Amino acid sequence: MFNYTDPGGALKPAAALKSYRQQLHEQYRQHAKRARSSFTLLEAFDEIAPGAQPVIDRVEWSAFPVTAQANNSQIDAGRFQFQDEYVEWQVKAQGGRLRTITFTTDFLEYYQALAMVSHEALVAGIKALYPTANPTNAQLYGPGFNPATSSPEGRAESFARFAQENPWNNGTKGILCLAQQFNTLGALFNLVGRGAVENRAVPSNAICDTLGNFCGSGRNSDPAVATAVQDLARGKRGLSFADPAGIRIARLAGTWKLNGNDVDMDNSPNIWAITRNGRRAVLKVSAGLSVDDTPITSGAQVAALLSVNAAVISAREAELPRWSRVGQETSRRLNDVAGSRGNP
């Protein structure tokens, strides 16, 4: 098993890195074995032909949920209904004015891995974001759940099932990870694994429409990702999610000013701070902050200027080991690789 990177830095101290890697690897393995898909395991890029150089493409899209038939205030308030671009956010106001906007692209599986280790590990992961947090069992898992007597799987499943009611994730007290129904790790891997099956019956930019419920053609994200991997497949390139897998917060567009003075948002961490390897960002909204000469009034307004991306690594199939190429999905070597490199 590939030694997938911990994007948030909280897993190794909690001895949860092995659990996280196993969850992630199951997604890689499932789609590496998908018939005719150019998607493969990251191990293939360890065995690339001498002199060959893999390429990393960052597929980018807007965080604004174009499917939402709602105004900015409604989008902010209706996170689990509207925020469906693999980006979710929490707005905090005080004294009738917006104070902070917190964006996340972390998947549920990250915190499930902590819950698999212990309730204490999950709480420590939450405290890494909110140092004064003291979450109760009921807040994290639902009423009547006792994590001390539960199995690891039971804790992880209950945490995921209760994610939209958990006050440390639903915005009442904070935001931890994605919980909108379409913003799942499985959805992202399905999109890439299925989108990477070469299909020349349609233009590559229409491939999303052929993937059924696995690709939302009305979103910003799904068509962009599906088109990108389809183009790589047509170019006879094997591909995978680069490590660390997931969605990265990339950049803010617009002309930003504080009290009339230009602000370089890439170098102003006291205003715009991106952490957790791009999985989390906080905008501190002071009274004099504006973008394009407009005051900041909502998270959706900022989401319209926010770009995120997914990193896809690829190389010519001829440069990759034979076991990883299209047509070799049942290779014994593929199964051997799938279980050979795991570290605690």
User: With left for phi above 0 and alpha for psi between -120 and 50, is residue 14 left, alpha or beta?
Assistant: alpha
pLDDT for position 336: 64
For the chain, which ranges sit under pLDDT 70? 336-344
Q: How far apart are CA 72 and CA 41, in angstroms?
A: 40
Query: Mapping DSSP to helix (H, G, I), strand (E, B) and coil, where does residue 128 land?
Result: coil
Please report the pLDDT score of residue 337 as a whole number: 58
For 194, half-sphere exposure in the C-beta direction (CA atoms, 13 angstrom radius) is 17
Contact (CB, 8 A) for 276 and 7:
yes
What pLDDT is attached to residue 340? 47
Tell me the two tokens of residue 317.
Answer: 């199939």
So what's the pLDDT on residue 344?
37
Predicted confidence at residue 341, as pLDDT, reads 46
Q: What is residue 342's predicted lDDT score, i.e. its pLDDT?
A: 41
In the chain, the amino acid numbered 292 is D
pTM: 0.95
Please tell me the predicted confidence (pLDDT) of residue 343.
39
Q: What is the pLDDT of residues 6-53, one digit of tens each?
A: 999 889 988 999 999 999 999 999 999 999 999 999 999 999 999 999
Here the tokens at position 313 are 């690594």
Domain boundaries, the chain: 37-106+181-338
